[in-house]
A and B are shown apart, each in its own frame.
Chain A
Amino acid sequence: MINTWLPYILAGIAVGGQYALIAIGYTMVYGILRLINFAHGDVFMWAGLIMVYLVTILPIWASIIVVIIFAILLGTSIEKVAYRPLRSAPRMSIMISAIGVSYLLQNFALYITGGLTKTYPTIKWLQKSVKIGSASTKMVTVITPILTIVLVVLLVLLIQKTKIGMAMRAVSRDFETSSLMGIDINRVITVTFVIGCGLAAIGSVLYFSNYTGIQPMSGAMPGLKAFVAAVFGGIGSVPGAVVGAFIIGVCENLIKGAGWTTFSDAFTFVLLIIILMVKPTGLFGEKNIDKV
């Protein structure tokens, strides 16, 4: 019994870790701006795509660093160009702007790739096979949850112990009051995007190492799932997003294991609707945000 399910659980934990890295970007941005950053999944996809092109000119380790820097630049410039001018506009317009950016990023990727599926470079060390119990799996499956948890602990320390972390918490609690208290809102938002996009870039290296193929729509589904994970864990809460992501990753792979692959995507949305009906604040959500 355990032997048949173990590979799926392992794969689920790995995918969960990758979703978690994306979900942090969603949950932090939503916590501060109250905006579903629809473009986040596409930043994730772009990080993967740039990696494909970079490895042809740079060694792997250098291209990973460049990819992370690229994703951070992309994310912060999206914020500057598309979200900052609409800061005081109604929430619907800023969401439409996010959708427009997502559309632009996807179309641009379509243009660059010519609509072809690109093969993600193999990072040898991540592809090494290891044995856990009776199941043999790739190194990336083992590395992902460990790396995710290390990064999340670091992030939580940053949020709890540093001055910028305190500013972030203040801004997510009350946007206007904290700006009156002399917090540089724009700087806090930029830092949020830097963290979110950096983690998404790391996530993309792990995620695409697992899937090999990458195309312009690759970011949409993981992005939506990561958002659902963020809602599931309680939007605005980083540990919540991580727990939510792991739960979604494992459940999704168990469903695949049961032979219901068609519905593995649908499951995520069923979960979203159930959680919004039953416990709209999510697992770790603290205060009652006006969403239901």
Chain B
Amino acid sequence: MENTLSKKTKNVLTVVAIALFLILVYIGDITISPGSSWKMMITVIEKGSIFALVAASMNLLNGFTGLFSLGQAGFMLIGAYTYAIFTIPAKSHNAVYQYFDGGLIKWSLVEILEDKIGIVGHYIGMLIPMIGAGLLVAVIAFLIGIPVLRLKSDYLAIATLGFAEILRAFFQWNTLGPVTNGSNVLRKYATYDNAIFPVVVSGICIAIILLLINSTYGRAFRAIRDDEIAAEAMGVNLFKHKEMSFVISSFFAGISGALLAMFQTTINATPFNTVMTYEILLIVVIGGIGSITGSIIGAFLFTAASEWWLRGLDAGSWLGINSSLMRPGFRKVVFAILIMLVVLFYAQGIMGSREFSWDSFLAWIKGRPEAIKTWPARRKAKAAAKKEARATKAAARAKAKAAKDEGEAKKASGEKLFTALPVSDEVMVFGKEGK
């Protein structure tokens, strides 16, 4: 490309774009009234950014290191619980842990720090349990990784899925009730008050993931994905790098779990099941396995479609179409079919393994008018090519049929179709052909 932008311009553009987006989100969340249908957009941005983070973390593992792990929901669960347990206000403990005598932990980190250093303490009190949640998940992932990462492809998938289920059972265990509240919901913990919070947090985390992917470690991960044996021969310590990727991915899954807890305002272990992991995996697939940009786009599309655009399918009318087929649950069916279409016919996803860059973006924008202008011509060409292909196929079929008919006719008239090869009486000896 001739007119690439200088690095400085690109950085400026990136900063401006991010700042603009953040300002819009902030203002949007303040000004849009709760009753407005545009409020849904804010919800989508919040949830989308949380799922973008967990999808990026799964992509780091599945797309960049080639480890097909399905434990993401379990790690999010630990993150969500850890965050919630340490931020429930002291006075609410009796109400939340009503079946467990007010629980074991009688204090909240948010309150303690808020008392000491005011409003700044409030946010620090939220950040510490969030990062702590990530670290706890990382430690658990480290321990799980030691046995599990020796497995390959589908066995790894089943084993991680199994661990996620074990974790879910563990958190619902009644004996742990004083800490996890058993199978009851946790609620009343500290949450954020503007949509900008999850956007900023997951933005920072995704930036870290991107930096990691472009570092030497990231290259080692990709080497492992492409060919383990070759990577090992090149001096990449397989186990160390797999473990590293697994632990880092789980750390960010834990953070996103904490964010999800804040978004939902109540949490329970039940929804963190295999379906949740499948949804995260499908986001990664829609975006493109091996593209962080794709994961982000996929996450926003997924949440927007399932929470916002396809809502009407559940309510009975969508895009002006009314049907008695549209009752609760229909949205998810349509959605699942769309996903299957992507999986079957568009397997590389939206971005494939490419990443966003200003150069290609501008080139794409510049190419649009030309593309639109030539669109009818291209469509005609495509249709003609299709017609031609169909014609050749039909011709081939007709030829085959004619040949077959000819054979049948010959067979019917008693003609021999195959003449047997002459059997030689002489034994052929190597090198003494024909005496």
Interface residues of A (CB under 8 A from B): 34-36, 81-82, 85-86, 89, 91-93, 95-97, 99-104, 106-108, 110-112, 114-115, 217, 220, 224, 227-228, 231, 262-263, 265-266, 268-270, 272-273, 276-277, 290-292
Contacts and interface: CB of A to CB of B under 8 A. Distances in A.
A103 to B, nearest CB: 5
Contacts of A104: 333, 336-337, 339-340
Contact of A224 (B161, B275, B335): B161
Interface size class of B (residues with CB under 8 A): 35 or more
Contacts of A107: 329, 332-333, 335-336
Contact of A291 (B155, B273, B336, B340): B155
Contacts of B152: 290-292
Interface string B163-195: 101100110111000000000000000000000
Contacts of A97: 340, 343-344
B281 interface: yes
Given A108-B333, A276-B151, A292-B152, A269 B162 contact: yes
Given A100-B343, A262-B173, A265-B169, A292 B150 contact: yes
Given A36-B154, A107-B332, A82 B68 contact: no
6 contacts: A97-B344, A224-B158, A263-B169, A263-B173, A269-B166, A270-B166
A283 to B, nearest CB: 16
Contacts of A111: 327-330, 332-333
Contacts of B281: 96, 99
B148 interface: yes
B353 interface: no
B157 interface: yes
A266 B332 contact: no
B162 A262 contact: no
Contacts of A268: 162
Main secondary structure of the interface of A (DSSP, over half): helix
A81 B151 CA distance: 30
Contacts of A35: 154
Contacts of A276: 151, 155, 159
Contacts of B162: 224, 228, 268-270, 272-273
A195 to B, nearest CB: 21
Contact of B343 (A36, A96, A217, A270): A96
Contact of A82 (B150, B151, B285, B340): B340
A115 B155 CA distance: 31
Nearest to B153: A91
User: Which residue, of B62, B328, B340, has the highest number of chain A Cβ atoms within 10 A?
Assistant: B340
A223 B420 CA distance: 55
A99 B332 contact: no
A269 B327 CA distance: 37
Given A99-B278, A107-B329, 18 more contacts: A36-B158, A92-B68, A93-B347, A96-B281, A97-B344, A102-B278, A107-B333, A110-B332, A112-B329, A224-B158, A224-B161, A228-B158, A262-B172, A266-B166, A269-B159, A272-B158, A276-B155, A290-B152
Given A36-B157, A290-B152, A110 B147 contact: no
Contact of A92 (B153, B159, B161, B344): B153
Given A82-B344, A103-B275, A115 B329 contact: yes
Interface string B46-62: 00000000000000001
Closest 10 CB pairs of A and B: A269-B162, A111-B329, A104-B336, A107-B332, A266-B166, A107-B336, A266-B169, A100-B343, A262-B173, A111-B333
A92 B281 CA distance: 12
Interface string B273-298: 11100110110010001000000000
Main secondary structure of the interface of B (DSSP, over half): helix
B159 A273 contact: yes
A241 to B, nearest CB: 15
Contacts of A112: 329
A96 B278 CA distance: 9
A291 B329 contact: no
Contacts of A101: 340
B340 to A, nearest CB: 5
Contact of B158 (A102, A231, A290): A231
A197 to B, nearest CB: 19
B277 to A, nearest CB: 9
Interface in B358-397: none
A25 to B, nearest CB: 16
B154 A266 contact: no
A35 B273 CA distance: 22
A231 B163 CA distance: 16
Nearest to B155: A291
Contacts of B333: 104, 107-108, 111
Contacts of A269: 159, 161-163, 165-166
A40 B274 CA distance: 15
Contacts of B169: 262-263, 265-266
A115 B339 CA distance: 21
User: Which residue, of A86, A104, A220, has the highest number of chain B Cβ atoms within 10 A?
Assistant: A104
Contacts of A106: 275
A227 B274 CA distance: 15
A272 to B, nearest CB: 6
A265 B171 CA distance: 13
A218 B206 CA distance: 36
A97 B347 CA distance: 10
Contacts of B285: 96
B108 to A, nearest CB: 28
B151 A292 contact: yes
Given A89-B347, A100-B336, A100-B343, A220 B274 contact: yes
Contacts of B332: 107, 110-111
A100 to B, nearest CB: 5
A28 to B, nearest CB: 16
A101 B343 CA distance: 10
B344 A86 contact: yes
Contact of B282 (A82, A99, A110, A263): A99
Contacts of B154: 34-36, 91, 95, 291
